Structure 1
Amino acid sequence: MAAEASLPDRREAVFVFVRESGWADVSSPADVTFLAAGEYNENWFVRAPHGDLVLRINHGSQLGLGERQIVYEFNVLQALAQSGVTPRPHVVEPAPRGLPGGVLLMEYLPGRAFDYATDSDLAARIFARVHEVAPNPELVRQPDPVAAIADESLSLIERYPEHPLREKRTALLGLHARVLRLAEEARELFARDAQVLVNTEVNSGNFIVGEGERQGRAWLVDWEKAVLSTRCQDLGHFLVRTTTRWKTDYTFGPDERLRFLTTYLVESGLEEPLEELDAKVALMERTILLRALSWCYMAWHEYTRPGSRALRNPSTFARIEDYLRDIDGLAAAI
């Protein structure tokens, strides 16, 4: 998430909604502060007598769920409440009066920004706790994750037929063809994996690291795109450089990568050989890289068309352009 998103000042509207709905005992608009926004949601801090809260406003669905998106995320958070590494949800309203999208109210988790160099063991612990939660059968399933992500990537590439970056489109279609070949190789491999609840969007901005009395703890927020799939999807997404470079300049080296995977195996209690997990995660990284570049291609079109996006982050657009300039370099691993 990024705090620099260009948004209308909704403080008064958020205050009125929270007060009139009875969701929190707020006394003035000063109890409400803009917190952060990503590409599809904005978040408002609500200071309340019985504990600070976050009001999340949804502006779109990457899963094609339409107005059901905010309820879907609420249900994911409810399923994850037992994990202790995600915010606890309180209440949801898919059609709130006076606000531009569905909303949910959840626990506010204070903390500092995530640092790949020092906090990756905490991330491994979070993934282990999340992946042991009993899967909710009502969630979107991806039993064939490479093929599913390849299909999603193709839909992103083809969303805007009038897209002016034709050479980028040709390059991405070539990468898509390579990932489809990976899908044939991976189908049976991942069919043997347990279906677990995975976040699928684990960039550094979605982690919160505790300080003071909460030192040593960390949480993962932003569960809009959670699905049931192989655990390797989260692990690969966390490690791939299109993720680590999204908000930072960090890239995992071979030793740091194996340390992270080893910590995950210890925390999760899995008896899978490190070499096997490493190979499957590497395959998912190659697939997720295609999805990241395809999303950038799609989003570039929206960012350059006035009125086509409710939420806009200047730093996100800068990174989109960086990635599109370096498609060949980034895609060398596919």
Structure 2
Amino acid sequence: MIEPLLSALRERPAFASLAAADLQPLPATGTSHGHVVLPGSLLARLAYAHEGDPTAAARLAAQAEAFRHLASAGRTPRLHDVIAPRPGLPGGALIVDRIDGRVPRVPAELAAMADTLVRLHALPLPSASSPIPRQADPFLATLALTEHNAARFLDQAVPDPIARAEIVDELGLLRAMDLGRRQQPLTVALADTHPGNFIVDRSGIAWFVDLEKVHVGSPAIDLAHATLATSTLWHPDVDAVLSAADVRGFYTLYLEKVGPWQAAALEPWLMPMRRLTWLRTTLFMARWRVQTLAPRDPTDLLQWSDAGLMPAMKAHIDATIDRCLRPDTIRSIRAEWMT
């Protein structure tokens, strides 16, 4: 992707004299993007897509608008340019600020993550005409996605009957809650808030850097995804399991910062959406396992691939998925709400 990126950048006056040596690819640790360091403290986010993917341009436009919309909070990189999908760059690319820092140390820097979530969730909602997706009912939308992935991938990804039964049981319990069509607070939501998607700078600010899945939805999902074991184990430089006290402290701090009115409206949804987020992530792992192990299907432009990952990251993800799909791990996570 370097040559197509360089060619696209040279079309812009600011990068007309750029040389190949000026582009520094970062280790491939993301499942959806590659990253290339550019001069001037900039970063190219190369969106992964298969050649000919008809949805790539719309996804890139939504992500670009997310960067624009969230910029005023001062907790996400600024967007500088958009490179539309083209041959060799089928997903296109965004040129954004490069944030100098590292992933959060958890639990020590959970407070910084909570502060960032408070600021981003407080932003005004995008207009109805915005390309940023909107969930009218986050519970039903997330449950439907989870059930879809369960139907397609659960049996293949989770051969252990005990683990599979635990997941099916949790799906049934959530379905029986019948929480659809009940009003819950809607905010700008980030969706993919595992700690590896934050970068802590020298001043201690936790920047949220992966805006691919920003939408209007439930802030409770963001809180859950920041602290569940299925999330905190995902990035090799985080690779931790939080204690119950750590999780309570994170939620308490967030609720204190958003104020009593927002906290009261959100609290009834915290546990249902936490349970649903665990299922959503677990079935994401199931889909990842099945689709990355399967031969490339040229008719499926949305098939996931791990071909771009560096070997060490691929091995870490495989081991994490193995761990998260084990019966003992599933039971330890569910014990939070089943006891």
Above 0.5 in TM-score?
Answer: yes
Q: Which residue of 1 aligns with 2:220?
A: 232
Q: Does 2:34 correspond to 1:42?
A: yes
Looking at structure 1, the residues matched to 154 and 118 of structure 2 have their Cα atoms a distance apart, in angstroms, of 41
Looking at structure 2, the residues matched to 160 and 37 of structure 1 have their Cα atoms a distance apart, in angstroms, of 24
Amino acid at match of 1:231: P
Does the 8 A contact of 1:15 with 1:26 survive in 2? no
Q: Which residue of 2 aligns with 1:18?
A: 9
| Match for residue 89 of structure 2 among 87, 99, 119 | 99
Matches within 5 A, 1:173-252: 173-182=168-177, 184-185=178-179, 187-188=181-182, 191-193=183-185, 195-211=186-202, 215-247=203-235, 248-252=238-242
Q: Does 2:258 correspond to 1:268?
A: yes
Amino acid at match of 2:36: W
Residue 328 (structure 1) shift: 4.4
Structure 1: gaps spanning 5 or more residues? 1-9
Q: Which residue of 2 aligns with 1:85?
A: 75
Aligned residues, how many? 312
TM-score, with normalisation over the residues of structure 2?
A: 0.82
Q: 1:26 to 1:126 in 2, by over 3 A?
A: farther
Q: 1:257 to 1:216 in 2, by over 3 A?
A: same
Looking at structure 1, the residues matched to 222 and 7 of structure 2 have their Cα atoms a distance apart, in angstroms, of 38
Residue 118 (structure 1) shift: 1.4
Looking at structure 2, the residues matched to 330 and 169 of structure 1 have their Cα atoms a distance apart, in angstroms, of 14
Looking at structure 2, the residues matched to 29 and 301 of structure 1 have their Cα atoms a distance apart, in angstroms, of 36
Residue 284 (structure 1) shift: 1.2
| Percent identity over paired residues | 24
Q: 1:270 to 1:186 in 2, by over 3 A?
A: farther
Does the 8 A contact of 1:80 with 1:86 survive in 2? yes
Q: Does 2:290 correspond to 1:301?
A: yes
SS at match of 1:219: strand
Does the 8 A contact of 2:102 with 2:200 survive in 1? yes
Residue 160 (structure 1) shift: 5.2
Does the 8 A contact of 1:14 with 1:32 survive in 2? no
Q: Which residue of 2 aligns with 1:288?
A: 277
Q: 1:37 to 1:92 in 2, by over 3 A?
A: farther
Looking at structure 1, the residues matched to 18 and 179 of structure 2 have their Cα atoms a distance apart, in angstroms, of 59
Does the 8 A contact of 2:49 with 2:90 survive in 1? no
Residue 200 (structure 1) shift: 0.7
Looking at structure 2, the residues matched to 187 and 322 of structure 1 have their Cα atoms a distance apart, in angstroms, of 35
Looking at structure 1, the residues matched to 266 and 334 of structure 2 have their Cα atoms a distance apart, in angstroms, of 22
Residue 291 (structure 1) shift: 0.7
Looking at structure 1, the residues matched to 19 and 214 of structure 2 have their Cα atoms a distance apart, in angstroms, of 35
Amino acid at match of 2:35: N
Residue 126 (structure 1) shift: 0.4
Q: Which residue of 2 aligns with 1:67?
A: 57
Q: Does 2:109 correspond to 1:119?
A: yes
SS at match of 2:109: helix
Residue 266 (structure 1) shift: 3.6
Structure 2: gaps spanning 5 or more residues? 297-302
Q: Which residue of 2 aligns with 1:324?
A: 325
Deviation per CA, 1:55-88, whole angstroms, max 9, x where unpaired? 1121249xx9543111110001100110100011
Q: Which residue of 1 aligns with 2:152?
A: 159
Deviation per CA, 1:133-177, whole angstroms, max 9, x where unpaired? 111133222232222111111222233599375546665444322
Does the 8 A contact of 1:57 with 1:102 survive in 2? yes
Bigger shift: residues 198-207 or 236-245: 236-245
RMSD, matched Cα: 2.7
Q: 1:131 to 1:272 in 2, by over 3 A?
A: closer
Q: 1:154 to 1:60 in 2, by over 3 A?
A: farther
Amino acid at match of 1:17: A
Looking at structure 2, the residues matched to 60 and 31 of structure 1 have their Cα atoms a distance apart, in angstroms, of 24
SS at match of 2:11: helix
SS at match of 2:241: coil
